[in-house]
Amino acid sequence: MTETLSDNYPKNFLTYELIISLLISGIAIAIIQLKWSPEEVHKWMFFNKSQFYSLLATISGTLLGFIITGISVILSLSGSQKLEKATESTQFKKIFVVYFSTIKFLAFTVIISIIGFLVNNDSINICLLYLLIILSIISSFRIQFGFSEI
């Protein structure tokens, strides 16, 4: 018997979210390449490089800190009676799967932003821009999923 998407989604939700994020990222990158010439993108990166990378690193780092704090609070209270029902539920493991996945993507976003801030090569900065678009969209989906489903 074949499984439908709605049957398979709960088991592989992070994979589906990743595929959707990559499709949206591809569309965003295609729009950038179709709307602006490579020279315009290089010019924009030249004038906005420090603001772009520092803003993205700051936002990603802040979100990363909140998520790590959230995990710390959950772990410190996991032995208490107040969270006993929550720790027994199937959603409890899902929280950690989503949180740790989000931590990986946000940490990678922060690292790439710092590298982009330090690199002075235009073509590398354009590649990093596209990579950061992808990472930001994936991280946004992970955060959104964490808020809506858990």
pLDDT of residue 10: 66
pLDDT higher at 65 or 146 = 65
Alpha-carbon distance values, 41 to 19, 32, 38, 46, 78 (Å): 26, 8, 5, 9, 48
- Whether 8 is in a domain gets the answer no
- Is 108's pLDDT higher than 70? yes
Average pLDDT over all residues of the chain: 86
Which pLDDT tens digit goes with each residue over 35-58?
Answer: 999 889 889 988 999 999 999 999
pLDDT of residue 148: 67
Task: Render pLDDT for 135-144 as a digit per residue (tens, 0 to 9).
Answer: 999 999 888 8
Q: Is residue 4 part of a domain?
A: no
The pLDDT value recorded for residue 69 is 92
Radius of gyration of the chain (CA): 19
In a domain, 6, yes or no: no
Q: How many domains does the chain have?
A: 1
Cα–Cα dist 21/134, whole Å? 7
In a domain, 121, yes or no: yes
Domain-located, residue 36 = yes
Residue 88, in any domain of the structure: yes
Residues near 37 by Cβ (< 8 Å), separated by ≥ 6?
Answer: none
pLDDT-derived band at 88 (thresholds 50, 70, 90) equals: confident
Give me the pLDDT at residue 135, please.
93
pLDDT > 70? residue 90: yes
- pLDDT above 70 (res 147): no
Q: What is the mean pLDDT of the segment spanning 1-20?
A: 75
Q: Which domain holds residue 68?
A: 13-149
In a domain, 1, yes or no: no
Instruction: Kindly state whether residue 61 falls inside one of the protein's structural domains.
Output: yes
State the pLDDT at residue 1: 46
Instruction: Give helix 122-149 / helix 13-35 axis angle, nearest 10°.
Output: 140
> pLDDT grade, residue 2 (50/70/90)?
low
- The answer on pLDDT for 5 being more than 70 is no
